[in-house]
Structure 1
Amino acid sequence: MDVVREKLDFNFQNSMAPSIIDNYSAGANKASHKNPSFESSDPAIYEEYHATFSAESIPSSTSAWLQRARDVASILATDTAARDIDNKSPFAEISLLKSSGLLKVLGPTGYGGGGQDWEIGYKVIREVAKGDGSIGMLLGYHLLWSKTADIVGTDEQKERFQKLIIENNYFVGGAVNPRDNDLAISDHGDHLVFNGSKHFNTGGVISDLTVFEGVLSGTSNHVFAIVPTSQPGFEFAHNWNNIGLRLTESGSVKINDIKVPWSDALGWDATSKKPLDSVLSIPFATLLLPTIQLVFANFYLGIAQGSLEFARGYTTTSTRAWPFGGDNKDSATEEFYILERYGNFHAHLLAAEALTDRASKEISDIFLTHGGKRDVSARQRGEVAEWVASAKVVTTDTSLRVTAGVFEVTGSRATGKKVGLDRFWRDVRTHTLHDPVAYKNRELGRYFLLDEVPEPTWYT
């Protein structure tokens, strides 16, 4: 896509399809009405790329999907540091994901999707995260939430929600934080009513649809549902202002009397009001958890790879050789310790990538093999989960080490706020605290030492 690589000066001349602007402007205005200090980015800044992507249509091959992800990452990378500082709600960035087609990469081709499997979906997430960790994370969460009905829903719900999401090019957020037990669900005859709040609600402000999760009153049964975000029952706090992943809109939300038809309760029989599968007891339904854990590992890896690529560009153009070492070199790229550090970081990232790709293949294969009959055994599910846990451990350790270590090979001037090299570490440090990696290490220890596969939990 030459126009993306050649025209990164953001001199936009073309007009964008009104539907994209209208959709996001309406959402921004609605949110601003509730919080006057709320600011969002303008989709019009990417209008040239919207027009180009629209003219090219969605990719038709695996290699083309990966190139499309690289193109989007290149666009985002030109001003990621500035957008990170501004901390505006990423309406523009989500509009770019929409027009590029990346939201549809896993969708059925019959509804206009890319028809790719998770193995490619994970690589697309990783590529986007190289350019902007926040947007890579949002894409990853969207792909998981957009496939929720496939994993925990009925066959009818799977088809209905795939058609809804892919044909409308919807972005899906999620109010699913298992540590919060304050989302109450009550039965009102032909529908359910959701009330409560969530401390974290990734992507909700900028979403078209939101995934809910809670426990039905009077039972221990969990209910997942997908609801339109543009309705009065949502009250976003706009309070996400953390050190990293600043454009993920992961703040809190209050949910007030939002009605959901029983027919939209994923995996439930609307007549008997009984769950067909329990998301924590049926092995296939529990694949939702390792699937999203591997989303995490992939954007950690992408962020770390992006940091090393960014640092390489800085070192080759701006880092000065040290003149007091006794073995003085003319340029920083000739210095032993810089070459040694880059080589070490590169090797560890290659190893992390190989492991993550293997885990991605395991997830893809189990869905391809068992997705129709949903006949996964507890042992099969557990072994896949341990591949994912291994990738999560290694990408956590490696990404933290690399994103902190790149300052050693770029120098003190690289700590400048406008340079933005610190955002890579801030991004991985923020999300790697999502669930303590120590428990993943313990889990792997029990698997290796005692041959025990893990019991499914909301984080396993």
Structure 2
Amino acid sequence: MRTPKKSALRPTSRPAVRRGDDEIWPRVTRELADDLAFDAPVRDRAGKPPFDEVARLREAGLPGLLTPPGASGRGADWRAACAVIREISAADGSIGELLAHHYVLAWSARFLGGGEPSAPGASPHAFFEDGTAREGRLLAGGVQPSRTAGEREHAREDERELSLTPTRGGHVLDGRRSFPSGVTVADRLVVGARCTETGDLLVVLVDPADPAVFVEAGAERVGQRLAGAGTVTFDQVRIDARHILGSLPRDEHAVAPFTTLAPLALRLLLVHVGLGIAEGALAEARDVSRATRAAPPTTDHGAGEHDHPFGQDDPYLLLAYGELATAAHAAAAVVERATDALARGLGLERALGVEDRADIAVLVAAAEAVTSRAAVRITTRILELVDTTAPADAPGGGSGFDRFWRNARALTAQSSATHRLRDIGDHYLHGTRPGLRLLA
């Protein structure tokens, strides 16, 4: 097997993370989103690893925005984090996805521990949570349950399931796996690997600067090109005992309902990414249509209704934008309901019941199904509207609108709306609980 080249070294000095009450985050996020939107088409075409974009996130303090209860310098709550991801995604869906994975991984130890410790500092993983928040570390990776026989059969030939072999004072991590976001620019990796001795899934923290860790950027993607996707090879990486964030038993029924909120949290944050992409496309298209309508006449016979066929009174353009805006509003309503339910579930912590978890899963699945279809529909129709309303020499010119469509397609391809709807129908008709995947 060819050994991937080591990724470029990342700067070790970072600006202090700015924190304050929840009122500061909307303003900070809006400023960063405007900055990202300004050169989004250029960066998308270049398709380089998002080192510059991550530097902008750090300058704004967003990696440290969402921290678990009890961690030092607590930032905002889950609702605020969802709002941040949605607005960032409207400007750049790739960076929204990168931030979504980071926020869920920042809660890894808390999900695995089953909730907030009884006293401040009681968490055995406080060094992880506090270090992540204090230093503004960017996390990447992912935790997956063991593959079924069918999944192993269809897995990529160049991937080896991650394994942890116990040794004196810790474990040794081996394997190779692809990740959809962040691994080319992360400060730390959070990954799940099967213990060769017990069969349990252990979640570990890894420094990508370790000489035994090799990160290879992923091949060019159709969309979400700046999310930092890549493949990581772990070649006999020594894992200290304190870098084991938690474990999951092989029997999924023995897992606490609170722990199983982790994959739902990631799925919901990615829904906010998709919704943000759709809203960003719609807003930019509106600006182009307005600018085109306001352009001076190009003929000599004076202004008239035929000079601006897509002007303010054109019924077809109004109908198109009315339908798309309604689709976005409908998706937002479903997403907000799922967001509120997840926030309440996270607040219950150890008191969360199995039925509570099932209800949250259904709402998240509904948000996925509605938003994925709306995002693809909106970004597809926007291409037609911009192509029709904006000639090449018009203000904005429609340049870069294809990125919204490509990002929406790449993001929604990760989950099937059909499968989500089937789970919802089964739950509604028979009361069946949605299928359980431990950590995404």
Query: Structure 2 length normalisation: TM-score?
Result: 0.83
Contact 2:144/2:438, CA 8 A, preserved across alignment? no
Contact 1:106/1:116, CA 8 A, preserved across alignment? yes
Match of residue 292 from structure 2: 318
Match of residue 7 from structure 1: none
Alignment partner of 1:333 is 2:311: yes
Shift of 1:254: 1.1
Cα displacement string for residues 213-237 of structure 1 (whole angstroms, at most 9, x for unaligned residues): 1211144421111222211122122
Q: Distance in 2 between matches of 1:413 and 1:118?
A: 39
For 1:64, which of 21, 24, 35 is the aligned residue?
24
| Amino acid of the structure 2 residue aligned with 1:423 | R
For 2:417, which of 413, 434, 437 is the aligned residue?
437
Deviation larger for 197-206 or 450-459:
450-459
Deviation larger for 141-150 or 234-243:
234-243
Alignment partner of 1:295 is 2:269: yes
| Amino acid of the structure 2 residue aligned with 1:223 | L
Shift of 1:59: 4.9
Shift of 1:458: 4.8
Contact 2:285/2:386, CA 8 A, preserved across alignment? yes
Contact 2:79/2:339, CA 8 A, preserved across alignment? yes
Q: Distance in 1 between matches of 2:317 and 2:8?
A: 41
Contact 1:359/1:391, CA 8 A, preserved across alignment? yes
Contact 1:59/1:68, CA 8 A, preserved across alignment? no
Deviation larger for 254-263 or 243-252:
254-263
Cα displacement string for residues 378-408 of structure 1 (whole angstroms, at most 9, x for unaligned residues): 1111111111111111110100100111123
Contact 2:30/2:87, CA 8 A, preserved across alignment? yes
SS at match of 1:207: coil
Match of residue 225 from structure 1: 204
SS at match of 2:174: strand
Structure with higher helix content: 1
Q: Distance in 2 between matches of 1:177 and 1:247?
A: 23
Alignment partner of 1:453 is 2:427: no
Alignment partner of 1:141 is 2:101: yes
Match of residue 34 from structure 1: 5
Shift of 1:263: 3.3
Alignment partner of 1:192 is 2:181: no
Match of residue 28 from structure 1: none
Alignment partner of 1:98 is 2:58: yes
SS at match of 2:184: helix
Shift of 1:113: 3.7
Deviation larger for 302-311 or 198-207:
198-207
Shift of 1:85: 0.7
Alignment partner of 1:404 is 2:380: yes
| Amino acid of the structure 2 residue aligned with 1:306 | G
Match of residue 119 from structure 1: 79
Cα-Cα RMSD: 3.1
Match of residue 151 from structure 2: none
| Amino acid of the structure 2 residue aligned with 1:73 | A
Shift of 1:348: 1.3
Size of the alignment, in residue pairs?
Answer: 405
Q: Distance in 2 between matches of 1:200 and 1:415?
A: 40
Contact 2:259/2:438, CA 8 A, preserved across alignment? no
Contact 1:176/1:212, CA 8 A, preserved across alignment? yes
Shift of 1:39: 8.4
Cα displacement string for residues 401-429 of structure 1 (whole angstroms, at most 9, x for unaligned residues): 00111123212586989811000110110
Q: Distance in 2 between matches of 1:142 and 1:379?
A: 28
Q: Distance in 2 between matches of 1:442 and 1:108?
A: 33
* Cα 1:191–1:132 shift into 2, 3 Å: same
* Cα 1:70–1:109 shift into 2, 3 Å: farther
Cα displacement string for residues 26-72 of structure 1 (whole angstroms, at most 9, x for unaligned residues): xxxxxxx936xx889x99xxxxxx99xx7xx7352333212211111
Shift of 1:281: 2.8
Match of residue 282 from structure 1: 256
Q: Distance in 2 between matches of 1:212 and 1:103?
A: 19
Shift of 1:199: 2.4
Q: Distance in 2 between matches of 1:393 and 1:294?
A: 11
Deviation larger for 161-170 or 183-192:
183-192
Alignment partner of 1:304 is 2:264: no
Match of residue 131 from structure 2: 164
Q: Distance in 1 between matches of 2:391 and 2:74?
A: 40
Unpaired stretches in structure 1, ≥5 consecutive residues: 1-32, 44-49, 269-273
Shift of 1:173: 0.8
* Cα 1:260–1:459 shift into 2, 3 Å: closer
* Cα 1:424–1:185 shift into 2, 3 Å: same
Match of residue 419 from structure 1: 399
Contact 2:109/2:125, CA 8 A, preserved across alignment? yes
Match of residue 358 from structure 1: 337
Q: Distance in 2 between matches of 1:279 and 1:95?
A: 41
In percent, how many aligned pairs have the same letter?
A: 27
* Cα 1:157–1:350 shift into 2, 3 Å: farther
Cα displacement string for residues 277-297 of structure 1 (whole angstroms, at most 9, x for unaligned residues): 969732111111111110110
Query: Structure 1 length normalisation: TM-score?
Result: 0.80
Contact 1:130/1:303, CA 8 A, preserved across alignment? yes
| Amino acid of the structure 2 residue aligned with 1:333 | G
Q: Distance in 1 between matches of 2:417 and 2:271?
A: 11
SS at match of 1:34: coil
* Cα 1:293–1:69 shift into 2, 3 Å: same
Match of residue 358 from structure 2: 382
